[in-house]
Amino acid sequence: MTGIQDDHEERHRRPSEWETAWEVLAPVTDLVTPMAVRVAATLGLADLMAGGAVPVEELARRSGTDADALGRLLRHLACRGVFAEREPGRFTVNAPAALLASDHPARMRERLDLSGFGGQMDLAFTGLLHTVRTGEPAWETVFGAPFWRHLAADPRMSASFDATMAAGAEYAADAAGECDWSGARHVVDVGGGAGTLLAEVLHAHPGIRATLVDLPDTVERGRRYLAGRGLEGRCAFAGQSFFDPLPAGGDVYVLRRVVHDWGDDEAVAILRRCAEAAGPRGRVVVIESDDGSGDDPALFAEMDLRMLVLSGGRERTVEDYIAVTAEAGLGLTGVRTTPLGQVVLDCVPAGPTTVTRTP
């Protein structure tokens, strides 16, 4: 009690200084509300209140929680504008809370669920101090194993990761629509996850065949997804690491949102495998979310830090990609920005680094 009491008395002695400091720092230091929202998402509270206002005791029964603790959680969130307390002890969904419903197209519940990849990704930041002190990813410190090994050992978390990466089908369509598939008969999607990009490519180009490359469990999920789209017959499946030799014979080797997961040494190794498989007549296409030159440098900076904390990866500028592709034996020949802000980098094995940038 002494510490809390001393803090309370200190605020009363110097209210103007404390309040001014809090007004400045509170928006970037509050951990209570973000965690409370994630707990509400994890418990599915928006779904459990779908029929209208629910007494907290009944809501606790439905969610398997303690009624007193749940009431405190919801009262805090209601004061922050998420959920509403229509009368004492009865809570209901309001417009912000409705975003946490399982069937909302934004899929925020899945993104924030502490038992899934989205929530675990956020919890990794409790190890940020370790990352800043050492330059190493925090994931292993927080969860006990390096990022990729952790996912490989936990099929449920791996599936959650794949689902998170597959979210936003419009981005897969955006990338597929902006790549140059002219002359391509065989596209190899390296680290292609559940096959969302390949589905868009195969649907739009009936003459193309494809190979999906990813770890075995992920490839099986991709097989089921493409079968559901009626495209499995035009796709081969290679369950393997992309650090091993890749299936040869493709015209285009695609890496979508893969290279930024890795540090420079690993990125070069992956790109070199693509260059080897593509041979002198093939192409390598790298697709990433941003290159830091857009209108939102804050997003680039956040993702750059996030990739370091999770897996030791990094976001890169075009100049950075020129360096890693050149070291891998690739020449960068063109850069395009898609309508949704993704960056498409065209490379050829042992080719020139003469870059044409298209908006």
The CATH number linked to 136 is 1.10.287.1350
- Residue 15 maps to a domain: no
Q: Are residues 350 and 333 in the same domain?
A: yes
Q: Are residues 181 and 153 in the same domain?
A: no
- Residue 300 maps to a domain: no
Give 13 or 241, the one with higher predicted confidence.
241
Whether the per-residue pLDDT at 170 is higher than 60: the answer is: yes
Give 165 or 229, the one with higher predicted confidence.
229
- Residue 164 binned pLDDT confidence (cut-offs 50, 70, 90): confident
Tokens of 67: 């009624």
Whether the per-residue pLDDT at 9 is higher than 70: the answer is: no
Rounded distance, CA 191 to CA 214, Å? 5
pLDDT at 19: 75
- Residue 294 binned pLDDT confidence (cut-offs 50, 70, 90): low
Confirm if 121 and 160 have CB atoms less than 8 A apart.
Answer: no
- Counted domains in the chain: 3
Q: Which pLDDT tens digit goes with each residue over 50-61? A: 888 999 999 999
Q: Are residues 135 and 40 in the same domain?
A: no
CATH number assigned to the domain comprising residue 56: 1.10.10.10
Give 140 or 29, the one with higher predicted confidence.
140
Could you tell me which residues are beta bridge partners of residue 37? none
Q: Which pLDDT tens digit goes with each residue over 59-112? A: 999 999 999 999 999 999 999 999 999 999 999 999 999 999 999 988 899 999
- Quote the DSSP letter at residue 356: E
- Residue 26 binned pLDDT confidence (cut-offs 50, 70, 90): confident
Q: Which pLDDT tens digit goes with each residue over 269-288? A: 999 999 999 999 999 999 99
Q: Are residues 218 and 352 in the same domain?
A: yes
- Residue 222 binned pLDDT confidence (cut-offs 50, 70, 90): very high
pLDDT at 280: 92
- Residue 163 binned pLDDT confidence (cut-offs 50, 70, 90): confident
Q: Are residues 119 and 64 in the same domain?
A: no
The mean pLDDT of 119-135, rounded to a whole number, is 97
Q: Which pLDDT tens digit goes with each residue over 225-254? A: 999 999 999 999 999 999 999 999 899 999
pTM of the predicted model over 0.75: yes
Rounded distance, CA 312 to CA 298, Å? 19
Q: Are residues 188 and 323 in the same domain?
A: yes
The mean predicted confidence, pLDDT, of the chain is: 90
> Could you tell me how many residues make up the chain?
359
Q: Are residues 266 and 317 in the same domain?
A: yes
Tell me what percent of the residues of the chain surpass a pLDDT of 70: 91
pLDDT at 25: 85
- Residue 301 maps to a domain: no
pLDDT at 351: 56
Tell me the residue range of the domain where 83 lies.
31-98
pLDDT at 296: 77
Q: Are residues 189 and 53 in the same domain?
A: no
Q: How many CB atoms lie within 10 A of CB 66?
A: 11
Whether the per-residue pLDDT at 347 is higher than 70: the answer is: yes
Closest CA to 100 of 75, 123, 81, 79: 81
- Residue 287 maps to a domain: yes
Tokens of 221: 């999920």
Q: Are residues 231 and 342 in the same domain?
A: yes
Q: Are residues 252 and 328 in the same domain?
A: yes
Q: Are residues 270 and 210 in the same domain?
A: yes
203 is catalytic: no
pLDDT at 341: 87
Q: Please state, in angstroms and as integers, the Cα–Cα distance from residue 59 to each residue in 56, 71, 100, following that order.
A: 5, 9, 16
Q: Which of 8, 130, 186, 260 is catalytic?
A: 260
The mean pLDDT of 45-49, rounded to a whole number, is 97
pLDDT at 301: 92
pLDDT at 89: 95
Q: Is 339 helix (H, G, I), strand (E, B) or coil?
A: coil
